[in-house]
Structure 1
Amino acid sequence: MSARTAAATRVTQEKWTSVRTAVSDCGERFAALIESTPDPSVSATGHWSVAETAAHVTGIAWNYTVLGSAAAGPLPIPEVRRHMPTATVDNIHAGLNPTQLRAYRERDPARLAARLRSSVREMLTRTADEDPGGTVEWLGGSRLPLAGVFAHLMNELHIHGRDIACGTGAPWRIPDDEAGLFFELFLVEIIRNGTGVLLHDDRPVRRGSIAVEFRSAHTVPVTFVLDTGVFRAEEPSGRADVRIRFRPAALNLMLFHRTSVTRTALSGAVVASGRRPWLLPAFLREIRMP
């Protein structure tokens, strides 16, 4: 560890309450969206229909009912368990995701909406007395606090709700304050607690250090440091190679490849500056999302 101060946890009681409320509210919006879709067979993504996209998100929520002190129990969709230890952002679309969709065959919008609502209620009930900062093992041997798992589901609802809305012409919004919770409770915390093999790939490890400072109106400033293949989160020191000012919803859409880096930058929603901004592409190649 360098002499810089490691970033303090972002898991506070206030954010735990906020992310639970966001999952509840966004889960209901998502359920209403899929119920109102006239034709669930239309495309939502390049690979999935509306029904398949809804089943993907609903399956995640259903498996997330086994959380916290219940984390060692059997998953409602147990077929995905064997893929979890070796999942990476590069193999998830060929392994875990299709396995889940084959195992969970429900495609009726009304039944998917009912299952989603039930799973969200169960998540909230089962974790009401849990420690939001207590960590659980997630994909690829990474570790997340319980609040970070909630933030992941919230982001799945955000991103795939947008996919469905774009495919059907329905309205959809991703609030920046909720998207900021994903940044703080998922991204910062998975880097703090360990990414396991989640970001591993076959490329040679880049030598040297890249420090990127992130600031927004909805998040506490933080610096991510990539040092010879290892990430860590630190408090800003004023010596970052790249400084990023961002709107959380825009950053998330860019990271998950819904908008291009160029389009996002031209909109002014994500602005890069600093003493070595040309290092940002190398950094983003490593902190990539599926």
Structure 2
Amino acid sequence: MDSLLTALPTALDRLRTVVGSIPSTRKVTRHWDVGDTLAHVASIAAMDVALLAGRPLDPLVPGLDELVAGSTVDQVKDVNVKVLAHLRERDPAVLLGRLTEDLDELLRMARGADPRTVFPWLGGADLPLDGLLAHLLNEINVHGWDIATAAGRPWHLPAADAAAFFDVFFTGLVASGYGKLLDHDGPPHPGKVVVTFRGSAVRPFTLVLERGRVHLTEVVERPDVRLTYDPVTLDLMLFGRVSRVRAALTGKVRVGGRRPWLLPPFLRTVRLPS
């Protein structure tokens, strides 16, 4: 966990640098400008502080506790809409100040704590402390990438930061219990799909999708699907920032295995908000 405690303030410094003098109204994504994007990241840090302190989320945004507990991945956008509608501040300097204060508090509480301590999270999931930190690190990096791209500025996403999203956050979430987070409409995929992930700078891991539920298992050498990947590219691809075609053409995400055609139905369950 020490690497996360170092990577988080470093990522925030990168974010602070790239925001610089960019107007808060500069469009960053289809729906958000710079101010909206920073408000979103700051709200996540504020929620994380509340979770670690054992405080309810409703004082931040009325009704947030119930909304967060009942949300699936596909409903995260509804959570974001409610939070951003309530938190009206859009001044980048103010938001970066709040983010800095909350990150300092978060790191203070995390130092010396057991990284495997679990906290209630989205969709009734249980997320370990180190996974919570890795998730916030990824939010800073992905949305920093958004802002930098919109402004025509470079953004450095370290491979170790992206690797932590898979090696710490995602595997920790699945192992601890993800609740209803990955629930979706429609019948589950019939049969069993075994997918082994092999990324540079990431420990290999295997996920099994069976009867609509996903669990970790021992690494399988001959899985249905083998996903070999560069962590930065796969991270940005899963969040919709890099197309699957581009990821494949660059060779930074490669699909193999005995039955590679089972990857699409697997990804209909194991998905991320984009």
What range is the shorter-chain TM-score in?
over 0.9
User: What residue is the counterpart of 2:230 in the other structure?
Assistant: 247
Cα deviations across residues 63-83 of structure 1 (Å, max 9, x unaligned)?
Answer: 211243x22455662332231
Cα deviations across residues 41-74 of structure 1 (Å, max 9, x unaligned)?
Answer: 0110111011101110011112211243x22455
Contact 2:56 2:65 in 1 (8 A): no
Query: Which of 31, 46, 62 lines up with 1:47 in the alignment?
Result: 31
Give 1:264 deviation, angstroms: 0.5
CA distance in 2, matches of 1:149, 1:41: 29
- Tell me the amino acid that sits aligned with residue 163 of structure 1: D
Normalized against structure 1, the TM-score is what?
0.90
User: What residue is the counterpart of 1:8 in the other structure?
Assistant: none
1:23 aligns with 2:15: no
CA distance in 1, matches of 2:23, 2:3: 33
Query: Which of 216, 236, 244 lines up with 2:219 in the alignment?
Result: 236
User: What residue is the counterpart of 1:152 in the other structure?
Assistant: 135
Cα deviations across residues 161-192 of structure 1 (Å, max 9, x unaligned)?
Answer: 11111111121111111110110111111111
User: What residue is the counterpart of 1:222 in the other structure?
Assistant: 205
Give 1:37 deviation, angstroms: 3.4
Query: Which of 178, 192, 205 lines up with 2:188 in the alignment?
Result: 205
Contact 1:135 1:144 in 2 (8 A): yes
Query: Unpaired runs of 5+ in structure 1?
Result: 1-15
- Tell me the amino acid that sits aligned with residue 246 of structure 2: R
1:276 aligns with 2:254: no
Distance 1:74 1:260, change over 3 A: closer
Give 1:139 deviation, angstroms: 0.1
Contact 1:221 1:236 in 2 (8 A): yes
- Tell me the amino acid that sits aligned with residue 54 of structure 1: L
User: What residue is the counterpart of 1:101 in the other structure?
Assistant: 84
Relative contact order: is structure 1 or structure 2 higher (C-alpha 8 Å, sep ≥ 6)?
A: 1
User: What residue is the counterpart of 1:4 in the other structure?
Assistant: none
Query: Which of 90, 96, 99 lines up with 2:74 in the alignment?
Result: 90
Higher mean C-alpha deviation, range 164-173 or range 148-157: 164-173
SS at match of 2:74: coil
Contact 2:51 2:120 in 1 (8 A): no
Instruction: Name segments (4+ residues, structure 1) moved above 3 Å.
Output: 72-76
CA distance in 1, matches of 2:269, 2:130: 24
CA distance in 1, matches of 2:209, 2:55: 32
Give 1:31 deviation, angstroms: 2.5
Percentage of matched positions with identical amino acids: 39
Give 1:231 deviation, angstroms: 0.4
Higher mean C-alpha deviation, range 77-86 or range 229-238: 77-86
Contact 2:27 2:150 in 1 (8 A): yes
